[in-house]
Structure 1
Amino acid sequence: MSTLPKKARVVIVGGGVIGCSVAYHLTKQGWEDVVLLERKQLTSGTTWHAAGLIAQLRATANMTKLAKYSQELYGALEEETGVATGFKRCGSITVALTEERKEEIYRQAAMARAFGVEVEEISNERVAEMYPHLNIEDVKGAVYLPKDGQGDPANIALALAKGARQRGGLVKERIKVTGMTKDGRKVTGVDWVSDDGSESGHIECDMVVNCAGMWGHEVGKMSGTNVPLHACEHFYIVTEAIDGLTQLPVLRVPDECAYYKEDAGKMLLGAFEPTSKPWAMDGIPDTFEFDQLPEDFDHFEPILENACNRMPMLAEAGIHTFFNGPESFTPDDAYHLGLAPEMDNVWVAAGFNSIGIQSAGGAGMALAQWMEAGEKPFDLGDVDISRMHPFQGNKQYLFERSKETLGLLYADHFPYRQKATARGVRRTPFHHHLLEQGAVMGELGGWERANWFANEGQAREYQYSWKRQNWFENSAAEHKAVRENVGMYDMSSFGKIRVEGRDAEAFLNYVCGANMSVPTGKIVYTQFLNSRAGIEADVTVTRLSETVYLVVTPAITRLADQTWMRRHVGDFNVVVTDVTAGEAVLAVMGPNARDLLAKVSPNDFSNDTNPFGTAQEIELGMGLARAHRVTYVGELGWELYVPAEMAGHAFETLHEAGQDMGLKLCGMHMMDSCRIEKGFRHFGHDITCEDNVIDAGLGFAVKADKPDFIGKSAVMERKETGPKMRMVQFRLSDPELLLYHNEPIIRDGEIVGYISSGNYGHTLGAAIGMGYVPCEGEKPADVLASTYEIDVMGTRVKAEASLKPMYDPKSERVKV
């Protein structure tokens, strides 16, 4: 083991396909002193038994871009390294057995077109031609992706490892990382021991990458970071050789939780069953290497029964292999990538949820670029490890949630679908009050949030569909109350970050695009920008005193936004603290909001005393609160910040006072439908780190005349050249159809982009979508002079386009 260095630029922990991909891409960028350590043999964890399905289409444009890159990489690896990857573009077919699933796969096909993926909706007759062994009797629809493929998982990983070695990377097997030394927020080195225990040592390093797969949680703890994932049992069978069986497309039958792959004249049948079996609650055995788990035929039998009906030849074929092996799953079915929020030099690429082979090439490329530049190369919000909150590393939580997440891969991906397991972890102070009033809860980042309110006698549950769901009219009534009278909803889950210290003003002026040199009580809407003027966070900042500000963030991005600030503190004398749990927040919104507040507080809520964009301390009932006059729904209103211990009293006081006014309790679905009518951007959908703040139509929130701030030069440059894209609001001509996101935008007959967020505009009377349209060198009038359509499930629907909010374009309602 003397070949192990004493020092390295980076140590990669784990030699599965993703660890090998990270090593490959770092060395390809010219990095030297790259060391990969694998506890046993390369691929011996989960990579070796992966099914090797390689699909292009993922849930978002950038995840699709990464999957397409993986395909292209695997196609070229064999020539580069001489290692056969078994990669072949055999295509894939997905069939739907229900009308709901048909809508899902047809919407996915439309999305594929927007992302530049070749796709075709095909008839049952065509399915039968391409898959003559298939029973198509109850097939309702099918989609074919000709460039999907399959490959040999272990050899793909070995080819990546060889590519890394050819460029000077050191890949060492049978070396287990046993610990890490830390100095503050950095890991300074890793301790290792050889597999036989005969040697041990320490490698100093500048960075660590956790690619430890199902050991990722444990290695995360070693490095002082939270990597929530859990291993589950994953089953497949391989038949004996079947006479005359030749190359076939990969087949997915998600309604039967099954996938099929022809391999060397045999058929592989795998399953993502609805209730899975978590594994290794007490830890993964130290000896684990190319191990199989015990067979559980009873668990797999329902899948096999359906499969024998779907593909009758399976009933005649003998089973050559019944395989059960572990795979790691994350709480939300998206993998973990990026710089861990708890440390400043620990990176993560783990938790690939059974799609590691198709993801690893692109994920390794993206992470290597991120490590090189110190900034995300493009939006990776779907998989950024900073979306995970600390509690999600809890073992019992992971055990309960992992029972569900494996099955969600092939479950119906209905809009607004809520997780069923591991619920009730984070509750706002109003939780029981809301339930008493008929709240139907959704979950985000562990927070239980009222999404809508059921009527008396109505089932308090989601009944999912791609059409109007059972809560559509409930949310419409809540929307109407906020537009025409007064509504109240719970915003306590939104992140609250206190920034205080003598340099608080200067620090926030550096981090934020807007000017923070404002009087006490002023509320400023602003963004955190990166060096490219991309949007890293979308927040409001309230000045509470000379040295204290409150930054309010979306619930899911609180940790990421706090981490962004902490990493830019530098020499500024400030303290950044999460105070989310300290205050509950009730939003009181609507034209009669001022009247309601007057009934419960002696304070003055007039424009003279409390104009839009200011906060004041108030009495509320017998307690105290802070009233912020801001809105995310486009109406007159206040967000009331109440000390947690007074929250119950505040709710009861407001609710009782509102009874003779028709006060309506509202949920998050209402908030989203109102904000999209007003053209307010949704962070993570409409605005991300790769969307320039000028292109996003948020130039008004950036004050370029103040001293240096992050992204200033890029803002100035884009102001000079004009936007390359414009955020456009669309209204469908057909009032029955619904928009969610990723539907293609068609301008003068050509696909030019996709809907970044969609919802129904109950006041505007149709589905509303937002999305970017390329406009380099164009004036606003040129953009609006075109004809627009939106592709909804394969049908082009005419849409009205606007650059100004279609609802209250001059914002007169919020300032009355």
Structure 2
Amino acid sequence: MSEQAEVVIVGGGVAGCAIAYHLAKIGITDVVLCERKQLTCGTTWHAAGLVTQLRATRNMTELAKYTGELFTSLEAETGQATGFRQNGSLRLAKTEARFEELKRGASMARNFGLESHVITPGETAERWPGVETSDLAGAIWMPRDGQVNPADVTHAMAKGARQKGVRILENTKVERILTENGSVIGVRLADGDIRAKKVVIAGGMWSRDLAAEIGVSLPLHAAEHFYIVTEPIAGLRRDLPVLFCADECSYYKEDAGKLLLGCFEPEAKPWGMNGISEDFCFDSLPEDFDHFEPILDQAVKRVPALADAGIQLFFNGPESFTPDDRYLLGETPEVKGLFCACGFNSVGILSSGGVGKALADWIHDGHPPGELADVDIRRMQPFQSNKSYLFDRTRETLGLLFDMHWPNRQYATARGVRRSPFHDRLLGLGASMTESAGWERPGFFAGEGRSTEIGYSYGHQSWFADTRAECLNTAANVTLFDQSCFAKFRLDGRDALGVLNHVSAAECDVPVGKVVYTQWLNDRGGIEADVTVTRLSETSFMIVTVAGGQTRDFSWLSRSIPEGAHAFASDITAGLPMLALMGPKSRAFLESLSGEDLGASALPFGTSREIPLGYANARISRLTFVGELGYEIYVPADFAQHVFERIIEAGADFGLKHGGFFAINSMRMEKGYRHWGHDIGEEDTPMQGGVGFAVGWKKRDFRGRDALLRAREAGKPTRRLVQIRLDGRENAPLLYHEEPIILDGQSVGQVTSGAYGHRVDASLGLGYVSCPDGVSAEFLASNDFEVEVACARYPAHLQLGPFYDPGNERIKS
């Protein structure tokens, strides 16, 4: 075989067939789908087929919502039965904490137009006769959810794709992805090659190993997933909603007069760590009734009819899971033109339609169709494909699907992977470590006699008092933060300035030692990255970005270098730890320690230079992410502990304390500092995100400029990021994300992030508000807004500027 195609899809499960179907729908029909055995034979065929639409975030919800809408019409379109039934779902809460989680989800659902209802235990029993409700705090009813036959719906999408000309080849194994000069050029089969412009890896639990052969990281691992199907139960209603009891790790669905009971148990069983057999096809794994028995014991109490029902089938089949329980989607950072759709964490069926449509549009347009950072493969780090890491993390992530989704929830497994040079010292000082992109970083420092363990809550968590002390000390004295997890890149070469000026919205042709705050934009004017750029010399620059952006932003920078340009990007994160000294006494402290003049004229805000600290030379940049006078300190890794020791030794006289990232989040909320991926992203322009001040409007050329000019000419943004303060300090709940912002009884926006502001003593948030006539300060001041939290509404004050030090006097002092 020696053929050509525009797109080759590897894998004939529900994801692969959905992508083929949607490519054909938008006119891309020169598509070949290669399935190593038969369609659905890996994981799809044994999926439970639950079709729920409310997910943890806006973007995943939108994809699931579209899937439900697609399933309502797919059978009529293709003539292939799907078994789709929109019989709704019930989510039960045994505790008040779980009930709050569900009610917060119900509020979020209204942002997306999803119908959701808070119901009583009695109303639950009416919708699901025979379920035990006496111990419930309440439930949520989602009438537009349902269930589907996974194999049938996959064949329906495959049929729809074939009808438009897509070729689907079964018993056709892709032996290798073919690449050339960093781009995909096709696939190798046993009997020849298929050349292609684009290739999609949708091979389920085989995807990681196939990608690894060409140096591409797709972090996923298979785990055993259990369910039973009873014998027919007399009188079982055929229209029963899907039932979830997450507090018991279980779900139930009616199945042809029988009941399917499945689970996501707290400690899972990873599988396939030594490889998956070539012959695996419609296979199941050995039964493990001892493992499932605790789930069944609780289920018999929840649904007493199970006590007298025989078990017709005990099923155990593998599904693939990722380190953060979100699937892997999009173009890989390592190879241009190579896409992935895999690692679905048991939500593949309910996500399939949205995934297929999103990836088809991405392939067609050359960019994501919307904000997909939650599932974008570029959020992952290369080390996360390590098999031992995946094995340990997968034991936890399967169960987290049904565990409490607490704010600030920390993983317990596969920890301690990336540590700064200060890690052990900080532990000795009472640090409670949290994780970001594999980095261990302090969340807070426990006061004397207090625990470093996190007591979770939707209200004030156990570290509230410790973080308050850190914030107040930062306002009064000086606080040391370990920010080594921030990603750092260098760009060097004769053409480095030209590359950065094209990539960056702000002007980067600045004097040596100047720090530029800027955004990297896409062609639609959306924000791809939010970074600082420090000019080190005429031909060298340092770029700093958030930890989670390391893979994504380095890929964006590298791909922005034109072929033949004399510009070379390098990732220096591991070799350049960073400390931050923040507070009104930080200048006097550093001057005392270094013997240097660091006054406002010697080192103005937004500038950087090297100074001696102890026996080392360190780069300090006068910047802040907490709204106080402050400095970032960059020290080569081999000098880092020495500098840290000198800072600690000299700090007592200046009231030096230690702070963590919970305090940073609190203080950045008071100042309205944006966080990429939460408050600003690929669909938000700088004007919408309130960072238009960073745009170099006089520049003649930068990526996204034309889109920004069109937006500016259109007048005031009709959608704008605002600062939010809930009224009533004592009774106001905490904001986290996606809480609806209400005006005159209607949702006009949503919260993007939130925290308690200790320096202003208020529950705060950031969020977007929309108004057809433009969002202005006058519009915000002249209207009465509310924020809905867990189905209750609270008065809120909205404004464009920060609540703390609006004149930036403390920063510029």
Superposition TM-score, scaled by structure 2 size: 0.98
Supply the distance in 2 between the matched residues of 1:5 and 1:127 (Cα, whole angstroms): 59
Aligned ranges 1:167-246 → 2 under 5 Å: 167-193=164-190, 200-246=191-237
Selected match of 2:80 from 78, 83, 95: 83
Unpaired stretches in structure 1, ≥5 consecutive residues: 194-199
Supply the distance in 2 between the matched residues of 1:782 and 1:98 (Cα, whole angstroms): 41
Structure 2 equivalent of residue 734 of structure 1: 728
**Are 2:781 and 1:784 equivalent residues in the alignment?**
yes
**Are 2:407 and 1:428 equivalent residues in the alignment?**
no
Structure 2 equivalent of residue 680 of structure 1: 673
Following TM superposition, by how much is the alpha carbon of 1:660 offset from its aligned partner in structure 2, in angstroms? 2.5
SS at 1:363 equivalent: helix
Contact 1:187 1:223 in 2 (8 A): no
SS at 1:175 equivalent: coil
Selected match of 1:766 from 743, 762, 765: 762
Selected match of 1:724 from 704, 714, 718: 718
Contact 1:497 1:580 in 2 (8 A): yes
Contact 2:59 2:374 in 1 (8 A): no
Aligned ranges 1:435-474 → 2 under 5 Å: 435-474=427-466
**Are 2:127 and 1:130 equivalent residues in the alignment?**
yes
Selected match of 1:290 from 282, 288, 296: 282
Contact 2:326 2:375 in 1 (8 A): yes
Following TM superposition, by how much is the alpha carbon of 1:5 offset from its aligned partner in structure 2, in angstroms? 5.8
Selected match of 1:619 from 612, 615, 618: 612
Aligned ranges 1:144-543 → 2 under 5 Å: 144-193=141-190, 200-246=191-237, 247-543=239-535
Contact 2:492 2:568 in 1 (8 A): yes
Supply the distance in 2 between the matched residues of 1:414 and 1:179 (Cα, whole angstroms): 41
Structure 1 equivalent of residue 700 of structure 2: 707
**Are 2:39 and 1:45 equivalent residues in the alignment?**
no
Following TM superposition, by how much is the alpha carbon of 1:115 offset from its aligned partner in structure 2, in angstroms? 2.1
Structure 2 equivalent of residue 642 of structure 1: 635
Selected match of 1:653 from 642, 646, 649: 646
Contact 2:264 2:402 in 1 (8 A): yes
Contact 2:748 2:771 in 1 (8 A): no
Following TM superposition, by how much is the alpha carbon of 1:644 offset from its aligned partner in structure 2, in angstroms? 0.6
Following TM superposition, by how much is the alpha carbon of 1:799 offset from its aligned partner in structure 2, in angstroms? 0.8
Post-superposition CA distance 1:749-789 (Å, at most 9, x none) = 21111100111011111110111111332343123311111
Following TM superposition, by how much is the alpha carbon of 1:599 offset from its aligned partner in structure 2, in angstroms? 2.1
Supply the distance in 1 between the matched residues of 2:385 and 2:532 (Cα, whole angstroms): 29
Post-superposition CA distance 1:406-465 (Å, at most 9, x none) = 000000000001000000010011101111100000011110011100122222211111
Amino acid at match of 2:726: L
Contact 2:18 2:352 in 1 (8 A): yes
Supply the distance in 2 between the matched residues of 1:93 and 1:306 (Cα, whole angstroms): 18
Structure 2 equivalent of residue 103 of structure 1: 100
Supply the distance in 2 between the matched residues of 1:763 and 1:372 (Cα, whole angstroms): 49
Contact 1:217 1:227 in 2 (8 A): yes
Following TM superposition, by how much is the alpha carbon of 1:59 offset from its aligned partner in structure 2, in angstroms? 1.3
Supply the distance in 2 between the matched residues of 1:726 and 1:234 (Cα, whole angstroms): 44
Following TM superposition, by how much is the alpha carbon of 1:175 offset from its aligned partner in structure 2, in angstroms? 0.5
Contact 2:777 2:799 in 1 (8 A): no
**Are 2:811 and 1:811 equivalent residues in the alignment?**
no
Selected match of 1:751 from 730, 743, 747: 747
Contact 2:90 2:141 in 1 (8 A): yes
Following TM superposition, by how much is the alpha carbon of 1:511 offset from its aligned partner in structure 2, in angstroms? 0.2
Superposition RMSD in Å: 1.0
Following TM superposition, by how much is the alpha carbon of 1:114 offset from its aligned partner in structure 2, in angstroms? 1.9
Unpaired stretches in structure 2, ≥5 consecutive residues: none
Contact 2:2 2:192 in 1 (8 A): no
Which segment is superposed worse, 308-317 or 221-230?
Answer: 221-230
Post-superposition CA distance 1:196-217 (Å, at most 9, x none) = xxxx211111111000000010
Contact 1:223 1:346 in 2 (8 A): no
Amino acid at match of 2:695: V
Amino acid at match of 1:262: E
Supply the distance in 2 between the matched residues of 1:735 and 1:652 (Cα, whole angstroms): 40
Identity of counterpart residues, as a percentage? Answer: 53
Contact 2:519 2:694 in 1 (8 A): yes
Post-superposition CA distance 1:13-48 (Å, at most 9, x none) = 000000001111111111132000000000000000
Contact 1:704 1:715 in 2 (8 A): no
Supply the distance in 1 between the matched residues of 2:586 and 2:743 (Cα, whole angstroms): 41
Supply the distance in 1 between the matched residues of 2:118 and 2:196 (Cα, whole angstroms): 51
SS at 1:313 equivalent: helix
Structure 1 equivalent of residue 599 of structure 2: 606
Selected match of 1:578 from 571, 576, 579: 571
Amino acid at match of 2:630: G
Post-superposition CA distance 1:378-420 (Å, at most 9, x none) = 1000000001101000000000000000000000000001000
Following TM superposition, by how much is the alpha carbon of 1:224 offset from its aligned partner in structure 2, in angstroms? 2.8
Post-superposition CA distance 1:460-506 (Å, at most 9, x none) = 21111112111011001001111121111001110001011101111
Supply the distance in 2 between the matched residues of 1:368 and 1:764 (Cα, whole angstroms): 47
Contact 1:525 1:701 in 2 (8 A): yes
Structure 2 equivalent of residue 54 of structure 1: 51
Which segment is superposed worse, 715-724 or 47-56?
Answer: 715-724
**Are 2:668 and 1:671 equivalent residues in the alignment?**
no
Post-superposition CA distance 1:623-672 (Å, at most 9, x none) = 11001000011110000001111111111111121113221100000001
Which segment is superposed worse, 715-724 or 361-370?
Answer: 715-724
Superposition TM-score, scaled by structure 1 size: 0.98
Q: Which runs of 4+ in 1 moved over 6 A?
A: none
SS at 1:78 equivalent: helix
Aligned ranges 1:577-596 → 2 under 5 Å: 577-596=570-589
Supply the distance in 1 between the matched residues of 2:597 and 2:247 (Cα, whole angstroms): 58
Following TM superposition, by how much is the alpha carbon of 1:9 offset from its aligned partner in structure 2, in angstroms? 1.0
Structure 2 equivalent of residue 196 of structure 1: none
Supply the distance in 2 between the matched residues of 1:386 and 1:741 (Cα, whole angstroms): 22
**Are 2:778 and 1:801 equivalent residues in the alignment?**
no
Contact 2:197 2:337 in 1 (8 A): yes
Post-superposition CA distance 1:114-155 (Å, at most 9, x none) = 222100000111001111110111101100000001000011
SS at 1:612 equivalent: coil
Supply the distance in 2 between the matched residues of 1:692 and 1:141 (Cα, whole angstroms): 41
Supply the distance in 1 between the matched residues of 2:671 and 2:444 (Cα, whole angstroms): 20
SS at 1:544 equivalent: strand
